[in-house]
Amino acid sequence: MIPTRKKTALATSADPRRSVTLTVNGESVTREVSVRMLLSDFLRHELGLTGTHVGCEHGVCGACTVHVDGHSARSCLSLVVALDGAEVRTIESVASEDGTLHPLQEAFHACHALQCGYCTPGMIMAILDHLESDRPLDLSDEGVRELLSGNLCRCTGYANIIEAVRLAAARMSLTVEA
């Protein structure tokens, strides 16, 4: 951001706040928040939904991925104030209320697709966007790697995560690209 790099005095020393209402995991939530509050912090600090993890806070690692209005998004690159009226879905809503895991979570378990687990919620939310899409999945090595390319995992080497995606797609009987 070269044009703004020269230090400009902050025009405001105040911390403006706004009331926002959004739907989180099916429940309507209204809070008064600072306009600079990131969705990731809102979920964790205001709502206690700490399943959404915060890694890099600049959109690279994917740990904070949630769904906004039905599609995957980086919660660290979303201002809550801009999401008034939006529908947000987090990892907490993926398993059933009785604790039954989603087929994708089952597949992660079966394939040992996590070690420390820090990246896992973001992985699940990013992959779900594809599994729930009506577009055919590309389950070739390259296709799955591309699908995972926006999420970093420092433990697994990805091989088991790739297997988990394929297993979940098979168990969910999803349409696959020829």
Task: Work out whether 57 is an interface residue with another protein (CB under 8 A).
Answer: yes
Tokens of 8: 């400009």
Q: How many CB atoms lie within 10 A of CB 52?
A: 25
Give the residue, chosen from 36, 109, 112, 154, that forms a contact with another protein under the rule CB under 8 A.
Answer: 36
- End-to-end alpha-carbon separation of the chain, Å? 43
Angle (nearest 5°) at CA 79 between 150 and 77: 20
Angle (nearest 5°) at CA 129 between 52 and 31: 40
Measure the CA–CA gap between 40 and 44, rounded to whole angstroms: 6
Task: Work out whether 171 is an interface residue with another protein (CB under 8 A).
Answer: no
Measure the CA–CA gap between 115 and 101, rounded to whole angstroms: 18
Task: Work out whether 60 is an interface residue with another protein (CB under 8 A).
Answer: yes
x/- site string to another protein, residues 111 to 150, per CB under 8 A? ---------------x--xx----x--x---xx-xxx-xx
x/- site string to another protein, residues 62 to 101, per CB under 8 A? x--x--x--xxxx-xxxx-xx-------------------
Which residues make up the interface to another protein (CB under 8 A)?
1-5, 7-8, 10-16, 18, 35-36, 38, 41, 57-60, 62, 65, 68, 71-74, 76-79, 81-82, 126, 129-130, 135, 138, 142-143, 145-147, 149-150, 177
